[in-house]
Every structure is written in C-alpha cells, then in structure tokens.
Structure 1
Amino acid sequence: MAYEFTIIVPVYNEEDNLLRVEKELLEYSKIASKKTKILFVNDGSKDNSQTIIETIVERQENFSYISFAENRGLSAAIKAGFDYANSELVGYIDSDLQTAPEDFNLLLEYIGEYDLVTGVRANRKDSFVKNMSSTIANGIRRAFTHDGMDDTGCPLKVIKTEYAKRIPMFKGLHRFLPAMILLQQGKIIQIPVQHFPRIAGQAKFGLWNRLIGPLMDCFAYLWMKKKYINYSVAKQSE
C-alpha cells in the first residue's frame, strides 16, 4: 500500500531531540488516519544530527531523509520536502516537538474539504517576548495578506501535495503558506492544537527572525502576489 501522507521534519542542530522525534512519530504512525511516512530534511546541521538520522532511517522502514550540503534555512528545508514528497498529502512538524504529532489527525479530518489545514497554537508555552513578537508579526502579515490566519508560524500543517508543489518558495515564505494557497484559489482553515515548551536544543529564531524579518518578507509577498501565475486547464487533446 502506497503512502498517503508525508510528514516533513526540518532539522538543524537537533541532536538532543531526534530520538524523541523518532519515538513520537513512530507512535503516531501507528494511529495515523492516513498511511504515513516521515521525511527528515537535514538543513546542513553541524552537530551529530545526520549520524542519528541515518541510524533512525536504517531501523525504521517508514522513515527517510535528505541532507543539504550546507545550511539554507527553514523555507528551503520545507520546499525540499515538498519537492521530494510523492504522497497525496504532505505536512510538517518542527523537530523540537513543541507541537504533538497526534494532532495531525485533527488536521487530517478537514483536508478533504480544504487544501491547507494549519494548526493554531492554543495556550502557547513560550516566553512573553516570543509570544508578543509573534502576535505583532502575525498582525502585520494579516494586514498584508488578508489570509485570516492567527498563527502561520505554527509548525503543524497539512497540505494537498499538488498545491504544495506549486508554491514558489523563497526565504521566509514558510510564514505565508496559507496566503500562497489562497493565490491558487485554494481553501484554508486553522484548527487549535496543543503546544508544549521546548525541552531540548536551542531555538533558531530570535526577535529579528520573528518580527523585523517577517515585515520585510511581506513586501516580497506583495511582489509575488502581483506576479504570480495561476491557471487551470479547461480542455486538452487526447
């Protein structure tokens, strides 16, 4: 039976989390509502992450990986996952596991009617500064995109792969995935999911990444919206 759902796990210097990722995603795959495979995307980690990933993939048949030659950023890792996915559905989760894999089943309940289903973190367990900067950044983004989403930074999403592969990714665009689905005339929805504090490893985003960077990315999105090519084929020859 072919895999129906690919979970992308971007990894950058997460050696302390990867065995827990293996355990939790293996447990999720046993209760998943779709036949699921896991794809690690190692974004040029400089610690022992790649060795651990290879060990995991050797012993788990539904785990696989790709590894970048150098660090290229979260958006690049997600795009690579989209490019390599061959299942009908694709999703992703951060390797810090601040969201719960079992909540993918909540999102998958809606993916038939919608083309992207994103989590929105309920009762976030982050610092005041992180929460406040995220709230401000999301407000600015909504003003530019009118996507109606409250938490596009939530690292728990499910997307129909045909839509994901048509997203013209650029650095920072992982925050604009719902808006990019709207550009394709797709339907989106947000669903509350669990959130947990980080218990290992280091956060990869600071104030600049969460606030100033996303503001600059909004202007890139406006350019993309103006230039975006979208078409549907009405008829073709046999």
Structure 2
Amino acid sequence: MPSPDTAAVVVSVVVPVRNEAENILPLIAEIAAALDGRWNYEIIYVNDGSTDATADRLAVEMKARGNLRQIRHAASAGQSAAVRSGVRAARGAIVATLDGDGQNDPAFLPQLIAAIEHGGERTGLAAGQRVGRKDTGFKKLQSRIANGVRGAILRDGTRDTGCGLKAFRRDVFLALPYFDGLHRFLPALVRRDGFDVVYVDVIDRDRRHGVSNYGMWDRLWVGILDLAGVWWLVRRKKRVPQVMEVERDGG
C-alpha cells in the first residue's frame, strides 16, 4: 500500500500497545478492512516500552503498508501518555483510538468517525460504550462500581469511560489539560470545554493473545485522585467571554 498524501490524511487511527506482538497483524488487517475505501487514513501504533517482539512485528508490516507508522517510548509511560504521543504525531484532523489487545472491534470505527464528521463543529467526541463485556466477573464489578462513582460525581452522562474505541477532533483533544489517566475522563473534560459528546454501542470481544497490562491496584487509588482532580477542573471552569474587536470610527 502506498504512503498516503500527508496533506490529505483525514483520519489517524492511534493504537497504544505494550507487549502485544501476537495481536499486531490481525488487528491491522481488521482496521484496514473497516476503513479502506472510506477515508484517507493512517495507522499510528504507539509502542509503550514493549519488551517482546512488538517493535519487530510492526517494522516488518510497515514495509508492506505505507500508511502504518510506529512511535516508540523508551520506557513504558502508560496508556494516556501513549495516546497523547499518537495524537500529537497524527496528521488527520480526526483521530480514532482503540486498544491493541483485540477486544475492541475495528468494525465500529466507521460509526465513530462518521459521528464526528456529521456532528458539526460542536461535536468533540464520539465514545464507544461496551455491551456484552468479555472481562471476568470481578473486573466487570470493578468497572461498574468505578463508573457509578464517577458518574455520580462528574455527571458526565457516560456509563463506560474505559472503552478504548473513541473518535475525536485532534485540536479538541490537544486543548485538554494533560495528566496521567486523561483517557478515562475524556467525556467530562470535552463537555467542560463546551463540546457535545455522542455515544455508540460497541460489542466487546475476548482478548486473542497475551494478558492484561492493568490490575486492580493500578487503577483504584490513582483513579480516586484523578477523579478528585477532574471534579476540581470541571467546577473551576469559567465561561469564556465573547471577544469582539471595536472598529475604528472613520472620518
């Protein structure tokens, strides 16, 4: 596949990964099947300090796909940092994201991207909401509790912020305050900046290979601190004044 005209790239698909070598090729093929012929797009894999064959698999596939790029973190910096690195490198005005473990189905990418395109300038984010989750019962209980607490405090109208399938305007994302954990609070922060959020139901899948990079204690205490910080940011948001330049009187 030839390299896309960088000036004509409409959509950038950002995939953060760490030690997902076995999932690389099948997921890229599914992304291509979902987007080929619809948009001029690029795929940006952000290799977040992988120690397996992830980098090698991507390097081989890049020879065959001119629209595939790899960005590498020398050491793992986490999912929010990986997403941000990908968005900053993106050439498209619209960015779509999905997790690299295969649980997010790329077949839903067109719906998310179209929701941004058709929503007009006021729509800043299209967020996937998982149905039929394939996680363990304990992990689903964790998410249910976390989403319930978050929703009660932030009132962001979102039942599932943990889904990696999202699409948003690049400039909207880069204007958000950055912190580790940002990816879990996008709906609240996008609304804070005055943009609309739309939701798309997506079907969750089983992980094909490997194991999750996240555990209960990775999320619990840090998530509580992040929630408090985002609550403060939302509460402190002031209305931006409308600024008009006064024309000089003639004569």
Shared fold per TM-score greater than 0.5: yes
Which of 123, 143, 152 is the equivalent residue of 1:134?
143
Q: Is the Cα contact below 8 Å between 1:133 and 1:210 reproduced in 2?
A: no
Distance 2:24 2:35 in 1: 16
SS state of the match for residue 16, structure 1? helix
Indicate the residue corresponding to 1:191 in structure 2. Answer: 200
Which of 80, 83, 91 is the equivalent residue of 2:85?
80
Distance 2:239 2:82 in 1: 24
Indicate the residue corresponding to 2:47 in structure 1. Answer: 42
Alignment of 1:15-164 (within 5 A): 15-31=21-37, 33-111=38-116, 112-113=118-119, 114-164=123-173
Q: Structure 2 regions of 5+ residues with no counterpart?
A: 247-251
Q: 1:86 to 1:234 in 2, by over 3 A?
A: farther
Q: Structure 1 regions of 5+ residues with no counterpart?
A: none
Distance 1:39 1:13 in 2: 16
SS state of the match for residue 109, structure 1? helix
Q: Deviations over 1:142-162 (max 9, x none)?
A: 122111101110010000111
The amino acid that maps onto 1:23 is: A
How many residues matched? 236
Q: Deviations over 1:122-170 (max 9, x none)?
A: 1111110111101111111112211110111001000011101112221
Taking structure 1 as the reference length, the TM-score comes to: 0.92
Which of 20, 44, 68 is the equivalent residue of 1:14?
20
Q: Is the Cα contact below 8 Å between 1:152 and 1:175 reproduced in 2?
A: yes
Q: 1:232 to 1:35 in 2, by over 3 A?
A: farther
101-110 or 196-205, which moves further after superposition?
101-110
Deviation at 1:85, TM superposition (A): 1.4
Q: 1:205 to 1:232 in 2, by over 3 A?
A: farther
CA RMSD of aligned residues (A): 2.0
Deviation at 1:210, TM superposition (A): 4.0
The amino acid that maps onto 1:27 is: A
200-209 or 225-234, which moves further after superposition?
225-234
132-141 or 78-87, which moves further after superposition?
78-87
SS state of the match for residue 79, structure 1? helix
The amino acid that maps onto 1:205 is: Y
Taking structure 2 as the reference length, the TM-score comes to: 0.87
The amino acid that maps onto 1:81 is: G
Deviation at 1:177, TM superposition (A): 0.7
Q: Is the Cα contact below 8 Å between 2:104 and 2:164 reproduced in 1?
A: yes
Q: 1:173 to 1:20 in 2, by over 3 A?
A: same
SS state of the match for residue 41, structure 1? strand
Q: Deviations over 1:68-120 (max 9, x none)?
A: 11110001001111211121100101111111111011212321312100010
The amino acid that maps onto 2:30 is: E
Q: Is the Cα contact below 8 Å between 1:137 and 1:215 reproduced in 2?
A: no
Deviation at 1:205, TM superposition (A): 1.4
The amino acid that maps onto 1:16 is: E
Distance 1:233 1:14 in 2: 47
218-227 or 191-200, which moves further after superposition?
218-227
Q: Is the Cα contact below 8 Å between 2:20 and 2:54 reproduced in 1?
A: yes
Q: Deviations over 1:170-199 (max 9, x none)?
A: 111110011110111010021101110112
